[in-house]
Structure 1
Amino acid sequence: MKMMTCKELGGACDLEFHGDSFEEVAELSKMHGIEMYRKNDAQHLLAMKKMQELMKDPESMQKWYESKKEEFSALPDCK
């Protein structure tokens, strides 16, 4: 199992997401983002706006995704 934070995934806080795969961690991050959106959290909304800009360019978004996936793969297993 590995861990990445909200900030490491483009978010706004230090909440930790733990998972056995990058996809699992990304899904936890997505659910957290939905919760923060519903709470109208200003810092997370700003981070979401930046991600939306990135998503306008599919090639840039794919590069970002692949780099985060590689970053996850390079992480040591957490306890």
Structure 2
Amino acid sequence: MKSMTCKQLGGACDFEFQADTFEEIAELSKQHGMEMYQQQEPAHLDAMAKMQELMKDPAAMQVWYNNKKREFDES
């Protein structure tokens, strides 16, 4: 089992996600993001806005995803 933090994934806090695959980590991060959105947590809302900007460029988003997956695989 490996772990990554919210900050490592572009988020705003040190909450740690643990899973066997990067895809599972991504899903846990998504759930955490939804919880923070529901709470309207300002730092997470800022981080989400930055991620939304990145997502407007599919090529940049793919590079980001590949880099994070590689980081997970190498840890």
The TM-score normalised by the length of structure 1 is 0.94
How far residue 55 of structure 1 moved from its aligned partner, in angstroms, is 0.1
Aligned residue in 2 for 1:32? 32
Aligned residue in 2 for 1:4? 4
**Bigger RCO of structures 1 and 2 (CA < 8 A, at least 6 apart):** 1
3-state SS of the aligned residue for 1:28?
Answer: helix
Please give the alpha-carbon distance, in whole angstroms, between the structure 2 residues aligned to 1:55 and 1:66.
14
Unaligned segments of structure 2, at least 5 residues? none
Aligned residue in 1 for 2:65? 65
3-state SS of the aligned residue for 1:3?
Answer: strand
Amino acid at match of 1:16: E
Q: How many residues align?
A: 75
Unaligned segments of structure 1, at least 5 residues? none
Q: Which consecutive aligned stretches of 4+ in structure 1 deviate over 3 angstroms post-superposition? A: none
Please give the alpha-carbon distance, in whole angstroms, between the structure 2 residues aligned to 1:26 and 1:4.
10
The TM-score normalised by the length of structure 2 is 0.99
How far residue 20 of structure 1 moved from its aligned partner, in angstroms, is 0.1
Please give the alpha-carbon distance, in whole angstroms, between the structure 1 residues aligned to 2:60 and 2:17.
24
Deviations 1:26-48 (A, max 9, x none): 10000000000000000000000
Percent sequence identity over aligned pairs: 65
3-state SS of the aligned residue for 2:18?
Answer: strand
Amino acid at match of 2:13: C
